[in-house]
Structure 1
Amino acid sequence: MKSVSLGGRLALTIILFNLTACGSSGNSGQVTAPTENAERIQLADRSYVLALPTHFDQAKPYKLLLAFHGSGGSSESMRSSARFEQYHSDYIVAYPKSQEVEWNEGCDCNIAHRKGADDLGFIEQIIEDVGTRYRLQEGEVYAAGFSQGALFAQNVACNLGDKVRAVATVGAPMSRQLSLSCAMEAPVSVMMVHGTADNVLSYYGSNHANFGLLSSQEAVARLAALNNSLPNPLLKSASQNVDLIHYTNGKQKVQLHSIKRGGHSWSFSGFDTSQKILDFFDHLHIPELPEHSQLIDVQGQKFHVRSMGKQHSGPAILLLPGFNYNYFNDSAWYALLQPYLAKTYRVHSIDRLGNGFSNMSEEVNLSRFAEDLNGILHALNEKQVLLVAFSSASITASQFYQHRSDDIDLTGMLWIDPDIALPHSLSLYKGYPADWYLANLEALLPILEQGTWTARTWNKLVVEREEIAALLPEALADLMDWNFLDVISQQRMLVGAQQTRAREIAFYADDLDAYAALALPSSVPVSVIDSDFEEKDIQNYPENAEALRQWQQEGSAWSQQVAEFSNGQYMSLEQTDHMVMFQKPERIKQAIDWLVAKGR
């Protein structure tokens, strides 16, 4: 180690030691009296403090939480700051003491490393030792650390992922050395908490040949990559003073809570760090949702619903997604339309099972979703609704019209490029790729399980995003919620979502048959927006031009018939893409305005 590097490292150690001694590790210098359910346990020449919850039950299996102090700290100082055992009755908490002034954090650059402190081995011994003393829940071991102890917690995540389910770090980003050496062969959920004004371990990182730091935003991205997370993070304000960056791989979570103007501390104003960490550990199985989103439980299944414009009265606008040309369909299609409509209306976009953040299910089809809608609306306490259905969602809309609950007032429907329930169109829908998926579904599902099509799915998403960007009207560009579109659409890369898509395409023919057998709606007005999106396919596939032209003509005639039969409007849009929601949202609003006025 170079002398200049050692000097810089020792200076940092002294600073951290002084801060810990002054109480800066948490609670603004105030130490809370610990509970009596604790003892110091000696393991050879090492020790840890083991704290039990207040109402400890010897017969109950517990989770184990390991909490690591900062540089120069102790088991007692960390316990006084975190007090985890006082927050939760399901955890036994171990507060280990480092062998040296610092933990061997994985940077290969400090005193603990030079002296060969086997801190990772010590942690394994503690887990084993606690397991011999008390009943532990299998697979329920967690770790948290402050400052230099947070850097060590990341080392635990990198090297003990087979023993630790999740870690939380407070007051530290990530060392550049560990970011390069970390393998994380077993994925581990990680929660980071860091003040943007931290003047000890900077939120913005630092460059040093011996001990460099990534910024916290770089660190969370690196940890997400090590977990094979989806590429786009969810960004949102968790509160007035806290910004959240959240990644997921569909199972594990990696997130950063950035405390605005927060210093080098365990706790912050309006942010109870210990409680937030325990909440994170307790809800690893629950997805982090975008702003305005919630999960609605209907008969044990959870549906992703995004609600905006709740302050408005009148009928609620329900946005139902349908297939695009890639057979993707989820609430990402309403990333612009929903905030645009929410300026005037109360608007809900709803994802079927297997789409967005809704639960996965093997029982997926467009007809079944009509039944689910009744339960969702009851949970939302919506009695008067106007339904907007894009593409194949007209199947769900038609079924809902026939089978809606008696207490739901359906004031009207707007169908955008609906599926056409006439023979020629139905034969095209039932052809490739629907017939191929039906014939090959059983063999395809295990192939999807292996992730064989994940890269292919991502490539399609990249192209779609570029196409959507080209469609946006300049006047409404500021309303476009790109983060929502990215976060929702990338869910399609998850294996469960890929399998759902395969099942939906395979079962499409059955949905179409049920759709064709229904009578046209007559008691509520149905307006239809009919774009000329077929023109693109007619130009690109001249060998199929005749069949495609017939489909286009048949569709326009049928759409006019639906509108006239139900006393709705028929609107033909020329030079318009299939994704009308992005290209001409104002025309959709005009159609909704007309239906709402008609229903008064």
Structure 2
Amino acid sequence: MKLRSLGGLLALTITLFTLSACSSSDKSGTSPSPVAPESPDAQTIQLGDRTYLLALPDNFSQSKAYKLLLAFHGSGGDSAGMRSLSRFERHSSDYIVAYPKSKEVEWNEGCDCNIAHRKGADDLGFIEQIIADIGQRYTIQEGEVYAAGFSQGALFAQNVACNLGHKVKAIAGVAAPMSRQLALSCAMQKPVSIMMVHGKADGVLPYQGSTHANFGLLSSPDAIARLAALNFSLPNPMLKNLGPNVDLIHYSNGKQKAQLVSIKGGAHTWQFAGFDTTTRILAFFGALEQPELPEHSQLIEVEGQKFHVRALGLSNDGPAIVLLPGFNYNYSADSAWFALLQPYLARHYRVYSMDRLGNGFSDASEEVSFGRVAQDLNGILNALNEKELIVVAFSNASISASQFYQHHHADINLRGMLWIDPDIPLPNSLALYKGYPADWYLANLDALLPHLAAGNWTERTWQKLVVEREEVAALLPEQSAALMDWNFFDVLSQQRLLVGHQQTRAREIAGYSADLDAYAALPLPASVPVSVIDSDFEEQDIQNNPDNAKALRLWQQEGSAWSKQLAEFSGGQYISLEQADHMVMFQHPEVIQQAIDWLVAQGQ
């Protein structure tokens, strides 16, 4: 699948043609050599005419299975120097660490441009020998081999990723971008997680790259974009600040990661002020199975499942505002819908947006529905220790809000609810909701899930994202557009491209009819005010579907009458919006805040 650009924000930063990857020469069948004692925890191992330094962790046990980490020195360096620089085995008891020595002054890094290449140094073959050698000496966990390098050793680590991806799970490179030659020839046999750490003031291997006939360098941002593309990552990088002078560019394909840590003012060095490179690399290796989260986000565990929760405005007093996303016209629903509203409200309130299982960065599950969200939400709020709140539900998240009220309002100080274009539990509306596409998904779900798993709908999902983004951009009011968090929107919405998320969406649509039946059976909330924002978004459907205009008009009228009844019965407000889009959160955040302000004032 080729992902097309969208205004420069929905695209990879670089396009390169891939040539054949370099291959290593035949490896020798050298058997393990006797260990030559050098220190209690470090020994020089001879493999044919080459050596590596083997370092064992503290409290090493011959009966334990370890991970293996290979650490590559820079040009002109050696094993002992790299060990002194990084000391990986001193910072983790999980790794056996090998510090190989290059055959020549440099590694054969894959640029086909240096001394090691001209002399035919088979450094890739040597690394395979080391992995095999240590595997015969000790018990190495299956699939747990890693590599890291400094300077020219970092360039070689990239070559390892390109050509030994079947051997290593992840690599980390410090103080190096990527050679233009390797960028062109790299063809990973298997996706590999990659971390780059680079000082922006590096005067040896420049962060911004260089142009040279023999040895050109990509910039580090272009390098990580290229490596991410080789991993088939999602197109939009996550941008984060990790601390003073430390920024992150992060890509993911849903499994492997590719990230660049940029150090403002950082020179050509291993360690940086405020950034412990060794421990950060080990932390990266140790968290490969965990998603990198956007700023202000966390994972809350409830009954063994992790839920993505984003929190803003935590210093504000008063009730917490909880935002629940529902379906748009594409039947997509995640916290991307609150990329403007949440920072808008956070100027005055504590605001939480939450993603259901199988959405955003929440855990996957085959048991998904809007109905189960009520129980999940209760557990999340308990974990957050939030006891006073207002629930804002968009579209069919009214199903979740209604069930939350029925089952849990007595356990919490629910000050009120605001429902934006809620589902209408009346006969004509229910018939429309249960029709196409809900009935089609229900009838075809078993055949659809493997069809989605094969990637057959990924391109069409991408096209929907492109159109949705353009539509959202057109809705933003000038006075609040500066608060729109586009990076959060792009990173969250692109999770829908992942096959698992596509399958979750299919399951939710297939279960929509059952959700609606449970919703229709509930009584109206009576003990807390429920305000309703009722946009006239149906007008566009009526205009575009003249053959079905009568039923759609009845749906609109039925919805307005029911929404007024709900607001009056519960003591809330009925707010009608004319010439409004369904995505009220982007077009009219001020109306939502005014409605929340009114609900807060009722309890004072």
**Aligned partner (choices 111, 114, 119) of residue 118 of structure 2:** 114
Aligned twin of 1:216: 220
Deviations 1:435-461 (A, max 9, x none): 000000000000111111111100000
How many angstroms apart in 2 are the aligned matches of 1:76 and 1:185?
31
**Aligned partner (choices 258, 274, 283) of residue 287 of structure 2:** 283
Deviations 1:318-363 (A, max 9, x none): 0000000000000000000000000000000010000000000000
**Deviation of 1:542 (Å):** 1.0
Q: Is the 8 A contact 1:298 1:372 kept in 2?
A: yes
Q: Is the 8 A contact 1:35 1:86 kept in 2?
A: no
How do residues 377-396 of structure 1 correspond to structure 2 at under 5 angstroms? Answer: 377-396=381-400
1:440 and 2:450 are equivalent in the alignment:
no
**Deviation of 1:135 (Å):** 0.7
Deviations 1:242-275 (A, max 9, x none): 0000000000000000000000000001100000
| SS of residue matched to 1:206 | coil
How many angstroms apart in 2 are the aligned matches of 1:275 and 1:236?
19
Q: Is the 8 A contact 1:374 1:405 kept in 2?
A: no
Question: How many percent identity over aligned positions?
Answer: 75
Aligned twin of 1:540: 544
After alignment, is 142-151 or 406-415 more displaced? 406-415
How do residues 123-138 of structure 1 correspond to structure 2 at under 5 angstroms? Answer: 123-138=127-142
Aligned twin of 1:582: 586
How many angstroms apart in 2 are the aligned matches of 1:106 and 1:261?
29
1:484 and 2:488 are equivalent in the alignment:
yes
Aligned twin of 1:19: none
How do residues 556-567 of structure 1 correspond to structure 2 at under 5 angstroms? Answer: 556-567=560-571
1:498 and 2:464 are equivalent in the alignment:
no
**Deviation of 1:543 (Å):** 1.1
Q: Is the 8 A contact 2:110 2:182 kept in 1?
A: yes
**Deviation of 1:240 (Å):** 1.2
Deviations 1:113-145 (A, max 9, x none): 011100000000000000000110000000000
Aligned twin of 1:343: 347
1:61 and 2:61 are equivalent in the alignment:
no
**Aligned partner (choices 181, 187, 192) of residue 185 of structure 2:** 181
**Aligned partner (choices 306, 312, 315) of residue 310 of structure 2:** 306
- Cα RMSD, aligned residues only: 0.8
Structure 2 length normalisation: TM-score?
A: 0.93
How do residues 424-463 of structure 1 correspond to structure 2 at under 5 angstroms? Answer: 424-463=428-467
Letter in 1 for 2:507: R
Q: Is the 8 A contact 1:120 1:156 kept in 2?
A: yes
Specify whether residues 519 and 386 from structure 1 end up closer, same or farther in structure 2 by C-alpha distance, changes over 3 A only.
Answer: same
Deviations 1:43-74 (A, max 9, x none): 00010000000110110000000000000000
**Aligned partner (choices 518, 522, 532) of residue 518 of structure 1:** 522
**Deviation of 1:514 (Å):** 0.1
How many angstroms apart in 1 are the aligned matches of 2:40 and 2:601?
68
4+ runs deviating over 4 angstroms: none
Aligned twin of 1:530: 534
1:260 and 2:254 are equivalent in the alignment:
no
Aligned twin of 2:208: 204
Deviations 1:208-249 (A, max 9, x none): 111100000000000000000000000010111100000000
| SS of residue matched to 1:386 | strand
How many angstroms apart in 2 are the aligned matches of 1:427 and 1:592?
31
Aligned twin of 1:248: 252
1:370 and 2:340 are equivalent in the alignment:
no
| SS of residue matched to 1:523 | coil
User: Unaligned regions of 5+ residues in structure 1, if any?
Assistant: 1-33
1:93 and 2:106 are equivalent in the alignment:
no
Aligned twin of 2:237: 233
Letter in 2 for 1:337: L
User: Unaligned regions of 5+ residues in structure 2, if any?
Assistant: 1-37
**Deviation of 1:406 (Å):** 3.8
| SS of residue matched to 1:295 | strand
**Deviation of 1:185 (Å):** 2.2
How many angstroms apart in 2 are the aligned matches of 1:410 and 1:227?
46
| SS of residue matched to 1:527 | strand
Aligned twin of 1:321: 325
Q: Is the 8 A contact 1:67 1:95 kept in 2?
A: yes
Aligned twin of 1:552: 556
**Aligned partner (choices 157, 164, 171) of residue 153 of structure 1:** 157
How many angstroms apart in 1 are the aligned matches of 2:357 and 2:149?
38
How many angstroms apart in 1 are the aligned matches of 2:317 and 2:300?
21
Q: Is the 8 A contact 1:35 1:54 kept in 2?
A: no
**Aligned partner (choices 418, 435, 442) of residue 414 of structure 1:** 418
Deviations 1:278-318 (A, max 9, x none): 00000000111001000000010000000000001111000
How many angstroms apart in 1 are the aligned matches of 2:448 and 2:386?
39
| SS of residue matched to 1:392 | helix
How many angstroms apart in 2 are the aligned matches of 1:546 and 1:406?
42
**Deviation of 1:407 (Å):** 3.1
1:270 and 2:274 are equivalent in the alignment:
yes
**Deviation of 1:35 (Å):** 7.0
| SS of residue matched to 1:475 | coil
Letter in 1 for 2:489: L
**Deviation of 1:405 (Å):** 6.1
**Deviation of 1:408 (Å):** 1.0
Q: Is the 8 A contact 2:183 2:226 kept in 1?
A: yes
Q: Is the 8 A contact 2:418 2:531 kept in 1?
A: yes
Specify whether residues 175 and 461 from structure 1 end up closer, same or farther in structure 2 by C-alpha distance, changes over 3 A only.
Answer: same
Q: Is the 8 A contact 1:64 1:136 kept in 2?
A: yes
**Aligned partner (choices 452, 464, 474) of residue 470 of structure 1:** 474
**Deviation of 1:36 (Å):** 3.3
1:333 and 2:337 are equivalent in the alignment:
yes
Structure 1 length normalisation: TM-score?
A: 0.94
**Deviation of 1:474 (Å):** 0.5
How many angstroms apart in 1 are the aligned matches of 2:200 and 2:432?
57
1:357 and 2:369 are equivalent in the alignment:
no
How many angstroms apart in 2 are the aligned matches of 1:422 and 1:265?
67
Deviations 1:503-528 (A, max 9, x none): 00000000000000000001000000
Aligned twin of 2:145: 141
